[in-house]
Amino acid sequence: MNNSSKSEMMHDANSPASKIVKPLIPPDAQERIKRAVKQANASLREQIRVETGLRLSDGAERFAIPFRVCEGFTGPFGDLIMRYPDRQLWWLICGLRQIGGIVEGAEWLLEHWPDLEKWDRLPPAARGGGDAIARARDVALELQKFVANPPLIGEIKKITADYLGCYFYPPGRPPWIEIYWMPIALIAAMLNIRMEDLAVVTLAHELGHGYTHLGRDIDGASWETGGFSKSDADVKEGLAQFYTEVVTQKLVGRQPGVHEAYEKFLTLQGGPYLAHKEWLKEQPQRSETVRFTLLSSRTNGIVKQADWLAALDETNKKLRRTGGSGQNGLI
């Protein structure tokens, strides 16, 4: 989300949505997510700075873009919880990893159960347990299917605003980022990924908004706030997603789970959050092309999706002609 103000109603710590979900989340989730984003903050900023070529300083002024980890839900996700206000449903969602473990473990046992039944050291209470194990597996499979039912997943994919974190830039105030630990913990459980990894993905995405908006180029120029605010979501979210993808790929050697979290979270996203996947597929100079296109396009103020795609194509052609040097009037 890249809101100019907190215009959307938030579901805070005392809201019905928060009261449904909070008891189901591990009690140490908030602290774990705080620790993860704090540890990743500096390296993420450096990676994004390198990839974009933009700095949050022009020598005379510096934009820190602080972040804070908050309790509660954004309007869209909190509204979704209240459309499905069933605590048992969300309890099952939070336990998907454990349910998956039952399925995997039961199948592993059943694969060799005939041999185990013949084993003279098999505990008496376990003898004849094949049917019970199969029944447990089948029950767990049915619960998995129920939780991952198309209506709920479809509803999540329809959300067209960031709900794990937000980048705020209200008029007359310094911008800031908020990271929402409750939906991060919930979605991480749903996707069977570490909440710490998804928190890092969230911070990378919101920093992507901040750097593409406020980052200074070599001339000290940034994206004018009014133009940034009114630019198409496919462009703004596409850029934030693109740099999240690039940065998490860079972290694979040290934190492989972060890129996995990015990829798995994409399966719950739609609309503008997938726009970047169509940008210059399989082009070896994709990152360079996006960077040059960002630098040139944002000087126009409001950037529409059609204009962005045309500029990407034109920049790609120029880079191919110049061998990716950025010379001959490219920027």
Angle between helices 233-250 and 195-214 (to 10 degrees): 130
pLDDT one-digit tens code per residue, 118-131: 999 999 999 999 99
H or E element: which one contains 249? helix 233-250
pLDDT of residue 327: 44
DSSP for 13-45 reads TTSHHHHHHGGGS-TTHHHHHHHHHHHHHHHHH
Please, which residues bridge with residue 208 across strands?
none
> How far is the C-alpha of 21 from the C-alpha of 224, rounded, in Å?
39
Q: In 53-129, which ranges are continuous DSSP H helix?
A: 75-83, 87-94, 96-111, 113-118
Q: Is 168 left (phi over 0), alpha (psi -120 to 50) or beta?
A: beta
Which is nearest to 93 in space by CA: 142, 147, 145?
147
Label residue 240 exposed, middle or buried (CB < 10 Å: 0-12, 13-18, 19+): buried
| Count of other CB atoms within 10 angstroms of residue 59 | 8
SS3 180: strand
H or E element: which one contains 139? helix 130-147
Given a cut of 90, whether residue 279 has pLDDT beyond it is yes
| Alpha-carbon dihedral angle through residues 241, 195, 72, 172, given to the nearest 10 degrees | -40
Q: Give the CA angle between residues 85, 28, 105 to the nearest 5°.
A: 75
Q: How long a stretch of residues is the chain? A: 331
pLDDT of residue 292: 95
Residue with tokens 């998907």: 96
Given a cut of 50, whether residue 293 has pLDDT beyond it is yes
pLDDT of residue 11: 82
Which is nearest to 225 in space by CA: 236, 234, 238?
236
Label residue 253 exposed, middle or buried (CB < 10 Å: 0-12, 13-18, 19+): exposed
What is the mean pLDDT of the segment spanning 284-301? Answer: 93
Whole-number mean pLDDT of the chain? 90
Lowest mean per-residue pLDDT among 49-53, 54-58, 117-121: 54-58
Residue 120 backbone dihedrals phi, psi, to 5 degrees? -70, -10
Residue with tokens 């860079």: 250
> How far is the C-alpha of 147 from the C-alpha of 141, rounded, in Å?
10
38 and 184 in contact (C-beta within 8 Å)? no
Q: Is 52 left (phi over 0), alpha (psi -120 to 50) or beta?
A: alpha
pLDDT one-digit tens code per residue, 191-249: 989 999 999 999 999 999 999 999 999 888 999 999 999 999 999 999 999 999 999 99
pLDDT of residue 6: 46
pLDDT of residue 58: 61
Which is nearest to 188 in space by CA: 21, 6, 17?
21
Residue 265 backbone dihedrals phi, psi, to 5 degrees? -65, -30
Given a cut of 50, whether residue 76 has pLDDT beyond it is yes
Has this prediction a pTM greater than 0.85? yes
Amino acid in the structure at residue 260 = E
Report which DSSP code applies to 60: S
- Percent of the chain at pLDDT > 90 equals 73
Residue with tokens 């630019």: 231
Given a cut of 70, whether residue 268 has pLDDT beyond it is yes
pLDDT of residue 3: 59
pLDDT of residue 141: 96
What is the mean pLDDT of the segment spanning 125-142? Answer: 97
